[in-house]
């Protein structure tokens, strides 16, 4: 239920620090605290810069929680060296997650082996097998089986993020929430979960049933909100908008999430050049206002 007084309850509203990309960790935390938010979502480079213990203290000293850590993943390599590097890097990410005081490690699982660099065309030597998206998805399943025991040992949850299908070639071969749940199915829900990110899944005809399934399975590890803006930015990765500026039906999707009994944080994660250029405190205040107007009444 939403607060009915003049001061909305922003305790579940979290600022993912990518939304204020150019701020230092301290500046981002200050912005979130000044806006009255309850938590921040961190990125690995911040943990690596300060060390997990100090990064955790910067957050807790401001009276905030860490809602999640971004990000592990990139599991689709087909060659031995690539597989070993992915396992190694993700084990470090799991350790960083445990150290910084959250259980939730968001995974973006990676694109096709045909990829040259994200957002660009295929390698000139890419063959049909390098475009085999079903095979890439099978490798994700294999890597998860190798990483899940390590995550469980560290009491960390691998949180699979379905990315919008326009990123299937270059960023994530998990394209729907239902597919993320299928990949999570072999593992305990406290070890492999999913995040519902409105930007990536709002269009999905099966969204309602997939959210209900995720809730019933105990796998909703996070709810991320930002809007689908048009026109797409030159780099479509950065097309996201503040909640309420685009086409996403936040009342409906928030209600579906709430109906599962989800009581965790609601993270705002926006990649947008204009928003990155704004003052972090202004951005955090807008995040809180939009959450209060479009999301909170439906939770």
Q: With binding defined as CB under 8 A, does residue 176 bind its own copies?
A: yes
Q: Which of residues 72-91 bind its own copies (CB under 8 A)?
A: none
Q: Is the peptide bond before 192 cis (omega within 30 degrees of 0)?
A: no
Tell me the CA distances in angstroms from 65 to 25, 92, 156, 278, 279, one per residue in order.
13, 21, 16, 24, 22
Among 114, 184, 196, 275, the residue binding its own copies under the rule CB under 8 A is: 114
Quote the least distance from Cβ 233 to its own copies, whole Å.
10
Minimal distance, residue 137 CB to its own copies, in Å = 7
Convert residues 204-233 into a mask of x (bound to its own copies by CB under 8 A) and - (unbound): xx--x-------------------xxxxx-
Provide the minimum distance between the beta carbon of 110 and its own copies in the complex, in angstroms, as a whole number: 14
| Contact residues for 17 (Cβ-Cβ < 8 A; gap 6+) | 23, 25, 28, 40, 41, 42, 43, 46
According to CB under 8 A, which one of 104, 170, 265, 269 is a site residue for its own copies?
170
Least distance CB 85 / its own copies (angstroms): 23
Is 289 a binder of its own copies (CB under 8 A)?
A: no
In SS3 terms, 185-253 reads as: CCCCCCCEEEEEEHHHHCCCCCHHHHHHHHHHCCCEEEEEECEECCCCCCCHHHCEECCCCCCCCHHHH
Whole-angstrom distance, CA of residue 164 vs CA of residue 166: 5
Query: Is beta strand 227-228 parallel, antiparallel or unpaired with respect to 240-241?
Result: antiparallel
Could you say which residues in the range 29-68 bind its own copies, by CB under 8 A?
Answer: none
Q: Binding its own copies by CB under 8 A: which of 166, 188, 258, 299?
A: 166
- Sites for its own copies among residues 121-140 (CB under 8 A): 121-122, 128, 131-134, 137
Helix (H) or strand (E) holding 86: helix 80-100
Q: What is the binding site for its own copies (CB under 8 A)? A: 112, 114-115, 119-122, 128, 131-134, 137, 164-166, 168-170, 175-176, 178-179, 182, 202-205, 208, 228-232, 234-236, 245-252
């Amino acid at each position: 239920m939403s607060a009915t007084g003049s001061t909305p309850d922003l305790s579940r509203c979290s600022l993912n620090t990518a939304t204020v990309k150019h701020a230092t960790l301290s500046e981002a935390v200050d912005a979130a605290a000044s806006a009255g938010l309850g938590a921040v979502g961190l990125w690995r480079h911040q943990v690596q810069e300060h060390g997990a213990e100090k990064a955790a203290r910067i957050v807790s000293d401001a009276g905030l929680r860490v809602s999640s850590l971004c990000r592990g993943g990139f599991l689709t390599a087909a060659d031995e060296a690539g597989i070993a590097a992915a396992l190694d890097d993700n084990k470090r990410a799991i350790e960083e997650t445990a150290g910084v005081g959250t259980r939730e490690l968001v995974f973006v699982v990676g694109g096709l082996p045909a990829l040259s660099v994200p957002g660009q065309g295929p390698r000139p030597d890419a063959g049909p097998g390098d475009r085999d998206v079903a095979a890439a998805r099978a490798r994700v399943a294999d890597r998860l089986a190798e990483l899940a025991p390590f995550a469980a040992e560290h009491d960390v949850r691998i949180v699979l993020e379905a990315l919008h299908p326009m990123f299937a070639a270059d960023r994530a071969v998990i394209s729907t929430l239902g597919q993320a749940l299928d990949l999570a199915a072999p593992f305990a829900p406290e070890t492999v979960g999913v995040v519902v990110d409105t930007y990536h899944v709002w269009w999905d005809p099966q969204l309602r049933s997939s959210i209900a399934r995720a809730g019933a399975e105990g796998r909703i590890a996070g709810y991320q909100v930002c809007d689908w803006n048009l026109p797409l930015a030159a780099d479509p990765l950065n097309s996201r908008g503040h909640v309420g500026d685009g086409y996403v039906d936040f009342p409906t999707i928030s209600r579906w999430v709430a109906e599962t009994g989800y009581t965790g944080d609601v993270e705002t994660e926006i990649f947008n050049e204009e928003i990155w250029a704004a003052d972090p405190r202004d951005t955090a205040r807008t995040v809180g206002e939009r959450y209060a107007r479009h999301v909170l009444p439906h939770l």
